[in-house]
């Protein structure tokens, strides 16, 4: 009996590519690359999931299989009960896809015209189209942009335009590939707020790939980390830090140059004149460290750096491959 509430189901899904490489003037080497190596997970309807991992880990291959672009080499995959690779066009009516770097809007035409094409292509009835367009325009501040040719929009405006285009047909699942890449702080905040609203009000399931930890923190209750084609983590964000053994960094400017400071539960990573970088476990609080430092030395300025998602994942992978079997 399949889980009826699961909107996305993957069961040992694999994707193997045949890579041909030229090794000499006439010799060619054939090699198999397992881009996705047996991934299983389910996503219930209405969840927002972050799908992260370093470049080449298999993120976009997974998303391409979920959208029906690529045919899996093995395993079972269902989205809204549909086998994406077999019924790609039927599935297309029920999903929305935003490719961060590739706009689907019409460059030389007013933004409104791109939406009109979506309406006709998806055969969205007039009332529903009106309602969805009004909602997107209101929430994403698109009203002043509707009659502007897309080529004149900024990157952030265009991304908002693209996200609206992907939602006009009321998709049950929204896939976003790097939706905030290259955007300024204000645009990022708008996009995130909009996605939250869509998820809570429409119940749209969202799966996003990103390199931006803040996207994950503000949107996703669940994170999946993929590396070398395998799922190395599936859970909450806090657990991710613990599992990855990651560290935050306290950057301190002292009044004068000091030898590397020594603190319990922390270590000095780097010294540059009066500035020092002090690493401590991500799960620990920075407050006692700051109090201790300020008590001992004159502190001019300090800031806390969050661990880069890449570092967290790198550590996590290093840990998973060196751990005894």
Partner 1 sequence: MAEGLRAYGLIVWMWTRSALAYRASFLMTAAVNFAATGLDFLAILLMFSQVDRLGGFSLPEVAFLYGTAGTAFGLADLALGSMERLGGRVRDGTLDTLLVRPVPVLAQVAADRFALRRIGRIVQGLLVLVWSVTRLELHWTALDLVLLPMMLLSGAGIFGAVFVAGAAFQFWAGDASEVQNSFTYGGATLLQYPPSVFAKELVRGVTFVMPLAFVNWLPALRILGRQDPLGLPGWVDFAPPLVAVACCALAGAAWRAGLRSYRSTGS
Residues at the interface with partner 1 (CB under 8 A):
17-18, 61, 64, 67-71, 73, 85, 88-90, 92-93, 95, 97, 99, 102, 104, 106-109, 113, 117, 120-122, 149
From CA 14, how far away is CA 34, in angstroms rounded? 7
Helix (H) or strand (E) holding 16: strand 6-22
Closer residue to partner 1, CB minimum distance, 71 or 197: 71
Minimal CA–CA distance to 250: which of 214, 291, 217?
291
CB of 70 to partner 1, least distance (A): 6
CB of 11 to partner 1, least distance (A): 20
CB of 175 to partner 1, least distance (A): 9
CB of 71 to partner 1, least distance (A): 5
Closer residue to partner 1, CB minimum distance, 93 or 228: 93
Q: Check if the beta carbon of residue 137 is closer than 8 Å to that of residue 146.
A: yes
Closer residue to partner 1, CB minimum distance, 120 or 256: 120
From CA 314, how far away is CA 310, in angstroms rounded? 6
Token pair 């590519």: residue: 17
CB of 30 to partner 1, least distance (A): 13
Closer residue to partner 1, CB minimum distance, 18 or 262: 18
CB of 203 to partner 1, least distance (A): 21
- DSSP codes joined into one string, 148-204: SBGGGS-HHHHHHHHHHHHHTT--SEEEEESTTTT--HHHHHHHHHHHHHHHHHH--
Tokens standing for 39?
């991934």
Closer residue to partner 1, CB minimum distance, 70 or 302: 70
Q: At what angle do helices 309-322 and 237-244 cross, to 10 degrees?
A: 60
Question: 3-class SS at 225?
Answer: strand
Length of the chain: 325
Q: Check if the beta carbon of residue 96 is closer than 8 Å to that of residue 166.
A: yes
Closer residue to partner 1, CB minimum distance, 121 or 318: 121
Max alpha carbon distance in the chain (Å)? 70
CB of 283 to partner 1, least distance (A): 39
Closer residue to partner 1, CB minimum distance, 15 or 222: 15
């Amino acid at each position: 009996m399949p889980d009826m509430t699961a909107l996305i189901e993957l069961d040992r899904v694999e994707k193997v590519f045949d890579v041909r490489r030229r090794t000499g003037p006439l010799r060619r080497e054939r090699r198999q690359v397992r881009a996705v190596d047996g991934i299983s997970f389910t996503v219930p309807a209405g969840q927002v999931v972050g799908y992260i991992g370093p470049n080449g880990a298999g993120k976009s291959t997974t998303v391409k299989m979920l959208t029906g672009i690529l045919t899996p080499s093995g395993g079972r995959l269902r989205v809204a009960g549909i086998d994406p690779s077999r019924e790609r066009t039927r599935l297309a009516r029920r999903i929305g896809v935003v490719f961060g770097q590739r706009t689907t809007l019409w460059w030389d035409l007013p933004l409104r015209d791109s939406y009109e094409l979506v309406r006709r292509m998806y055969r969205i009835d007039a009332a529903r189209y009106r309602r969805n367009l009004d909602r997107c325009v209101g929430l994403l501040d698109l009203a002043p942009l509707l009659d502007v040719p897309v080529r004149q929009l900024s990157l952030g405006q265009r991304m908002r335009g693209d996200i609206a285009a992907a939602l006009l047909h009321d998709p049950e699942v929204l896939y976003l590939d790097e939706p905030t890449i290259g955007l300024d702080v204000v645009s990022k905040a708008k996009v995130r707020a909009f996605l939250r609203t869509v998820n809570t009000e429409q119940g749209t399931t969202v799966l996003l790939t990103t390199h931006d930890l803040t996207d994950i923190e503000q949107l996703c209750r669940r994170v999946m980390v993929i590396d070398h084609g395998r799922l190395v983590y599936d859970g909450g964000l806090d657990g991710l830090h613990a599992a990855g053994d990651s560290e935050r960094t306290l950057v301190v400017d002292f009044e004068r140059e000091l030898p590397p400071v020594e603190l319990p539960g922390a270590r000095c990573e780097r010294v540059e004149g009066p500035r020092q970088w002090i690493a401590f476990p991500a799960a620990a609080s920075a407050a006692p460290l700051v109090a201790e430092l300020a008590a001992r030395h004159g502190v001019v300025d300090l800031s806390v750096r969050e661990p880069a998602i890449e570092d967290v994942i790198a550590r996590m992978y290093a840990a998973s491959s060196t751990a005894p079997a």
